[in-house]
Structure 1
Amino acid sequence: MSKDTPTPLEIRSKLEHYCAYQDRCHNEVNAKLKSFGLSGNEAGEIIAHLIAHNFLNEERFACSFARGKHRIKHWGKIRIINELRFRHISQYNINTALKEITPEEYFDTFDNLSTRLWESLRAEKGLRKNKKFCDYLLRKGFESQLVFERLKELDK
């Protein structure tokens, strides 16, 4: 190995810090291992070590991801599910993560977000305003039924 190439022990230590700083999924850790030029048995051993010492936990990652994206970015369940699937999180962990968001919190967030959005679209009129309203909330990942019901309430 050259002087610049870290040893597997150094890589393991760096990945411990990487996972301790923020919850990570297996995909992110695998990408980091590849960036170090590590794959195969050594990479598998490091991942096994991270799991065994609770640095890497997909269920914990999914739960914190769902909570954070909902509370901070105000994402709906559809967007959260799609993002977790994109990261190859199991359906069991996705379902567990969605339980972290209470129905009351979900509907409060949706209500506040939709009200603020509707009021911010004052300059718009008619169908254009309705389209912008629906597109934004659907892009945020809220269910279409919820969005259209809210549109009917606000567009009176």
Structure 2
Amino acid sequence: MNLQNTYTVDEAQKKMENFCAYQERCHKEVRAKLKEMKMIPQAIDTIMVHLIEQNYLNEERFARAFVRGKFRIKKWGKNRLKQELNRREISVYSIKKAFEEIDDEDYYKTLDQLALKRIAQVKESNTYKKRKKVADYLLYRGWESHLVYDKLQKYIK
């Protein structure tokens, strides 16, 4: 009988502590990892409670780190950020708190830079086609449509 893929609650707990200490994790991710480790539901609940009590797992902290990182590095807009956090089953409260990480001035400045950069990249002589290509790009990245169309009005005549 092969026992190498079974864990005691203590072993699984240690493994998950390391997993959460390495980088911020959401509850859904940790629960999925424990299921992958073939832990029973009672053990999963016990370990989850331990991780939350010991502050290895903190939904609001995860959401804040996620928003900061994806905004700064991938330049995602609020729509995309919200969509991704919802996919990870993050509470509305934590999402709201996470958006406090984005300074409004930085947000608009980033959209401005992103729009100008994309406009320079799109080689299209037809104004309408160019607008559509730039808009599609920005909307896919999760920027609010009214902001995107304002930028297009301003920069593509």
- TM-score class, shorter: over 0.9
TM-score (norm 1): 0.96
For 1:8, the equivalent position in structure 2 comes to 9
Instruction: Find the residue that maps to 1:3 and give its secondary structure.
Output: coil
Are 1:133 and 2:154 counterparts?
no
For 1:149, the equivalent position in structure 2 comes to 150
- Tell me the number of residue pairs that the alignment of Structure 1 and Structure 2 aligns: 156
For 1:22, the equivalent position in structure 2 comes to 23
Are 1:83 and 2:84 counterparts?
yes
- What's the offset of the Cα at 1:21? 0.6
For 2:43, the equivalent position in structure 1 comes to 42
- What's the offset of the Cα at 1:124? 4.6
**Hey, what's the Cα distance between the residues in 2 that align with 1:135 and 1:15?**
40
Instruction: Find the residue that maps to 1:99 and give its secondary structure.
Output: helix
Structure 1 residue identity aligned to 2:33: K
Instruction: Find the residue that maps to 2:75 and give its secondary structure.
Output: coil
**Hey, what's the Cα distance between the residues in 2 that align with 1:123 and 1:72?**
27
For 1:96, the equivalent position in structure 2 comes to 97
RMSD: 1.3
TM-score (norm 2): 0.95
For 1:70, the equivalent position in structure 2 comes to 71
**Hey, what's the Cα distance between the residues in 1 that align with 2:125 and 2:151?**
17
- What's the offset of the Cα at 1:122? 3.1
**Hey, what's the Cα distance between the residues in 1 that align with 2:29 and 2:95?**
17
Instruction: Find the residue that maps to 2:107 and give its secondary structure.
Output: helix
1:111-147 Cα deviation digits (max 9, x unpaired)? 1111100011134532221111000000000010000
**Hey, what's the Cα distance between the residues in 1 that align with 2:115 and 2:129?**
16
1:21-57 Cα deviation digits (max 9, x unpaired)? 1111110001000000013211111001100110000
Task: Name stretches of at least 5 consecutive residues in structure 2 with no aligned partner.
Answer: none
**Hey, what's the Cα distance between the residues in 2 that align with 1:108 and 1:69?**
16
**Hey, what's the Cα distance between the residues in 2 that align with 1:39 and 1:138?**
42
Identity percentage of aligned residues: 46
For 1:122, the equivalent position in structure 2 comes to 123
Instruction: Find the residue that maps to 2:74 and give its secondary structure.
Output: coil
**Hey, what's the Cα distance between the residues in 2 that align with 1:55 and 1:145?**
39
Structure 2 residue identity aligned to 1:66: V
Task: Name stretches of at least 5 consecutive residues in structure 1 with no aligned partner.
Answer: none
Structure 1 residue identity aligned to 2:151: R
**Hey, what's the Cα distance between the residues in 2 that align with 1:130 and 1:104?**
24
